[in-house]
Amino acid sequence: MNFNHPKEKHSSLFKLNLAVLAIVVMLLGSGGMGVEKPSKEPVVRVDPAAMTRLYGRTATRVGAAASLDQLPENMVIRWVGRGSISWQVDVRHSGDYEVGLCYAALTDGAKLEVVSRGGQSKITGTVRKTTGPYKDRQISEEGPLHTDFLSNFERVPLTGVLHLPAGISDITIRVTEPESGEVMDFRAMELVPVAAKQAIAELEERAKRSQASTDWMVKAKYGVMFHWTDGSQPRHGPKKPYAEAVRILM
């Protein structure tokens, strides 16, 4: 019979524990145990044939009073007073784009501007109070964070077009007035290529026609809720990063 010396036994257990610890650290670092690191894309590719959304999470610079909030994946920016957000974009072909903003706001009147490549192209607008079916402000004390957020988000188009040159350049949204006070909860900027606007509208109309009628559910007083989080798993293929999954879903 072989009897290991106590010191040798403890040494073997210590080495085994180190090996297990190394494997756990490696899995956590690579996302192998379901822990994902937020992906930071420095350059956003602008699609010349479809709508492109620029989220707060993919911004390259967030300046002055605009700051990322504590919501998951930093998808919303709490905007107080003057501030700016900039993205680096990669445009295959130069062209004109209509601009829409997705935000929630409690008051009217804040002045803003959207500028491309050092002011060579600029459009201006005014923030307006958004409305919807929810309370204007929600306060959540669930989980480790005390979250105060606005609920009624709308897609608000700006008047005019923004010209984007070919290649890599910057797009900046800037609030110029007021100097202080809550302006909005900003979610995304939407770029719609003017040249593809008709094709996009036709595709959306075709998608609407293909939808099944839900009138019977309304008459029967039924409702449906879809709850989707970063923990959801796709039916097929690998799990996508949260921001990419949101972009595809939208």
pLDDT at position 151, please? 84
Q: In whole angstroms, give the CA distance from residue 89 to residue 110.
A: 26
pLDDT at 211 over 90: no
pLDDT at 10 over 60: no
Contact 150, 80 (CB under 8 A): no
Q: Which of 28-42, 187-201, 205-219, 221-235 has the lowest mean pLDDT?
A: 28-42
Give the C-alpha distances (Å, rounded to integers) separating 141 from 8, 57, 134: 52, 23, 18
pLDDT at position 67, please? 57
pLDDT digits (tens, 9 = 90+) for 15-73: 545 554 444 444 444 443 333 333 455 799 999 999 999 987 778 887 755 554 544 44
pLDDT at position 65, please? 56
The superfamily CATH assigns to domain 43-195 is: Galactose-binding domain-like (2.60.120.260)
pLDDT digits (tens, 9 = 90+) for 102-155: 999 999 999 999 999 766 899 999 999 999 888 888 776 555 444 677 889 999
pLDDT at position 35, please? 31
Q: Which residues are registered as beta bridge partners of 83? A: 64, 175
Question: CB-hemisphere CA count at 13 Å for 204?
Answer: 9
Q: Within a 10 A sphere around the Cβ of 235, how many other Cβ atoms? A: 4
pLDDT at position 38, please? 37
DSSP per-residue string spanning 39-51: P--SEEEEPTTS-
Place of tokens 């894309």: 41
Give the β-pairing of 77-91 and 111-116: unpaired
Using DSSP, state whether 226 is helix, strand or coil. coil
Residue ranges covered by each domain of the chain = 43-195
Contact 247, 240 (CB under 8 A): no
Q: Which two tokens mark 209? A: 């026609």
**Amino acid, single-letter form, for residue 77:** I
**Amino acid, single-letter form, for residue 184:** M
Q: In whole angstroms, give the CA distance from residue 86 to residue 43.
A: 11
Average pLDDT for residues 90-102, to the nearest whole number? Answer: 94
